[in-house]
Amino acid sequence: MAELLIPTMKTIEETAKITGLAKYRIRQLALDNKIVSLRAGKKILVNIEKLIEYLNSSNENNVIKEGV
């Protein structure tokens, strides 16, 4: 039987502390469905592993432009 891997889900604030990105930018990426996230009541939880994959992606469409 395959081992079940549970994704690491963090709040916007926790994700900002881990990555150094602005809370606003993480929220926008989540709301634009550019990163894997889900709503738990009023909070948005971000899949940290998928966010790191997104940030490390070499696809130029994924470049985050601060201040845009």
Domain regions of the chain by residue span:
9-62
Res 39: pLDDT: 96
What type of residue is 24? Y
- Tell me the mean pLDDT in the region 20-27: 96
Q: Are 37 and 54 in contact (CB under 8 A)?
A: no
CB-CB neighbours of 6 under 10 Å: 5
40-56 pLDDT, tens digit each: 999 999 999 999 999 99
Q: How far apart (Å, rounded) are the C-alpha atoms in residues 60 and 28?
A: 18
Res 43: pLDDT: 96
1-13 pLDDT, tens digit each: 788 889 999 999 9
